[in-house]
Amino acid sequence: MSEKHKYEYFNAVLINEIDEEGNNVELGGEFILQPNDHFNNLSVNLSLSVVQVPTNMYNKDSAIVNDVYWSEALNKVFVDNFERDPSLIWQYFGSAKGFFRQYPGIKWKPDEHGVIAFDCRNRKWYIQAATSPKDVVILVDVSGSMKGLRLTIARQTVSSILDTLGDDDFFNIIAVRPHNPHLRPIFFF
């Protein structure tokens, strides 16, 4: 990759952003957006996709940039798909590296804290496509020491694990009292 093309891609957050000197910001550039009835009158670019990199990742990381470049070929695929079937709406590509390519291109706006919490790897459609069906057993300690904050953290952890499961996954949650071997486990389904 030449130095000239090292970081040139359209970052969904940075497109059409201008620096203090009136120049396009790096990874932004001029990106033509026009309102489109098919996309609820949102301003979109029907020629190009945009790339979104999660806030907690470095958008110039060489692994991300390399994958962004090889996935640029998807622009033609996205446009061809839309021309063949105009009833299509959004088309996506989610990378294991964490970046997300979206067609048609659209400007993403961060929240009031300057953050976009979206990470395609946490979306149900990505998890189902990237993983095989799982059989999961979750053991939860419900002994006397698990009170207050500890129990709250355990519940939140179980909830977070369940959020990663898909329609093809099976799970069981078993509450155990490990400090008293005479008590049988309590089963939840």
Same domain membership, residue 102 and residue 16: yes
Same domain for 15 and 75, yes or no, is yes
Look up residue 74 and give its amino acid: L
State residue 188's pLDDT score.
52
How many domains would you assign to the chain? 2
Same-domain status, 83 and 141: no
pTM of the model: 0.64
- Residue 1: per-residue pLDDT: 44
Contact predicate 172/140, CB 8 Å: no
pLDDT over 70 at 15, yes or no:
yes
- Domain C-terminal end among 92, 108, 130: 130
Q: 106 falls in which pLDDT band (50, 70, 90)?
A: very high
Q: How far is CA 135 from CA 103, 170, 188, in A?
A: 34, 5, 15
Structural domain span for residue 177: 135-188
Q: 33-51 b/e with 16+ CB inside 10 Å = b?
A: beeeeeeeeebbbbebbbb
Q: Do 119 and 146 share a domain, yes or no? A: no
pLDDT in tens, 21-48: 988 888 888 899 999 999 999 999 999 9
Whether 165 and 93 share a structural domain: no
Whether 142 and 60 share a structural domain: no
Query: What does R_g of the chain's alpha carbons equal in angstroms?
Result: 23
CA distance 90 to 104: 7
Are 10 and 97 contained in the same domain?
yes
| pLDDT tens per residue, range 142-176 | 888 888 898 899 999 999 889 888 788 899 998 88
Predicted pLDDT of residue 2: 42
